[in-house]
Amino acid sequence: MKSNENFMKIKLNNIKSSAEIDNFQFNFLIIIIIILSSIVTLFITYFLLKLIIFIFNRDSSHNGKDIFMSLLISYMITNLVVIFYINVLGASYESAKFVTPFADLIIFTMLYYLNTKNSKNTILLFVAKAVIVILGMILI
């Protein structure tokens, strides 16, 4: 295990002991936080991508459902791929942190194109999502 992972485990154990909660309550709290942050991330990304399509491609008859469903399914598939990557292949969490956004970008782009067959919007969304991914990696 890397030293960064050990540091995180120590910090989490300190939080758990200072809050005086057991493992079940702590895991439940972590699950709630992850779900809420994932929902917020999903909707922010959805509205940003929808805004990009509206601004740069006004002439197309675009349905926001396609973006939303592609985002939702790509998040689910990406999380399953990362779980496989970590548990089966034995990769570290540190490497998964870099693989996850790019896997999501590729899967989202493929799903959106397969759903709409609109190459202009697909390229536009790929570039917009790539900018979001790169900004997310820089800021985090």
Q: What is the pLDDT of residues 35-58, one digit of tens each?
A: 898 899 999 999 999 999 888 877
Alpha carbons 44 and 95: distance in angstroms, whole number? 25
Determine the residue type at 44: I
DSSP-based three-state secondary structure for 92: coil
All structural domains of the chain with their residue ranges: 3-139
The pLDDT confidence band at residue 68, using thresholds 50, 70 and 90, is: very high
- The one-character DSSP state at 95 is H
More confident residue, 21 or 135: 135
Q: In percent, how much of the chain has pLDDT > 90?
A: 39
Least confident window among 30-34, 91-95, 113-117, 129-133:
91-95
Handedness of CA 114, 96, 79, 43 (dihedral sign): negative
pTM: 0.79
Cβ-Cβ contacts under 8 Å for 24 (sequence gap 6 or more): none
The pLDDT confidence band at residue 61, using thresholds 50, 70 and 90, is: low
The pLDDT confidence band at residue 23, using thresholds 50, 70 and 90, is: confident
| Token pair belonging to 105 | 């970008």
pLDDT tens profile 81-117: 888 888 888 888 788 888 889 999 999 999 999 998 8
Q: What is the Cα 28 distance to its own chain's centre?
A: 20
| Token pair belonging to 86 | 């970590």
Q: Which helix (H) or strand (E) holds 112?
A: helix 93-116
Alpha carbons 45 and 52: distance in angstroms, whole number? 11
